[in-house]
Amino acid sequence: MSQELERVYTINLGKAWISVDTHRATRSINMIKEFARHHMKIEDIKIEEDLAHQIWARGARSPPRKIRVRMTKTDEGYILVSRFDEDVQSDVTPGKDTKKIEDKGKPAEEESSIVEAKEAPTKEAPKKEAPKKEAPKKEAPKKEAPKKEAPKKK
């Protein structure tokens, strides 16, 4: 029986910005490993490739300041640190126009016509666009060199 332990953490990587700017992403990776060792109590840490790409996406000089990770303790005895992707299930709430068909006594033809009527697009008056005004073209004034001659001194 496998007893995998899984936890989700938000790791603050702001102190990586204290480091020299060319070493910030490397420091962020090390900070994630330190955090995992501290919280999961196992020395062997592996960082998933997607997480590493997320940290290095903006280069070595500007890694993210916070990162949300999922840490999983595996049967092989190491901690796998991966990106946290929230599994969102969208709950559709019916609006004013949508109704559930609950009468099962109606024939199938009537039910389908009700559904089709709801899906039909509503006709709206086409919006009139204001005529575009063209800006007058401005020409740069021509500069002519002055033809004044300075008096010659002898």
The half-sphere exposure of 34 on its side-chain side, counting CA atoms within 13 A, is 11
Give the pTM.
0.56
Residue 54 belongs to domain spanning: 5-83
What is the tally of structural domains in the chain?
Answer: 1
How much of the chain exceeds pLDDT 70, in percent? 56
pLDDT reported for residue 109: 52
pLDDT reported for residue 117: 47
Is residue 9 one of the residues assigned to a domain?
yes
pLDDT reported for residue 1: 38
pLDDT tens-digit series, residues 108-126: 555 444 445 455 555 566 6
Is residue 143 one of the residues assigned to a domain?
no
Is residue 134 one of the residues assigned to a domain?
no
CATH code, domain with 65? 3.10.440.10
At residue 113's C-alpha, the angle toward residues 112 and 119, to 5°, is: 90
62 pLDDT above the threshold of 90 = yes
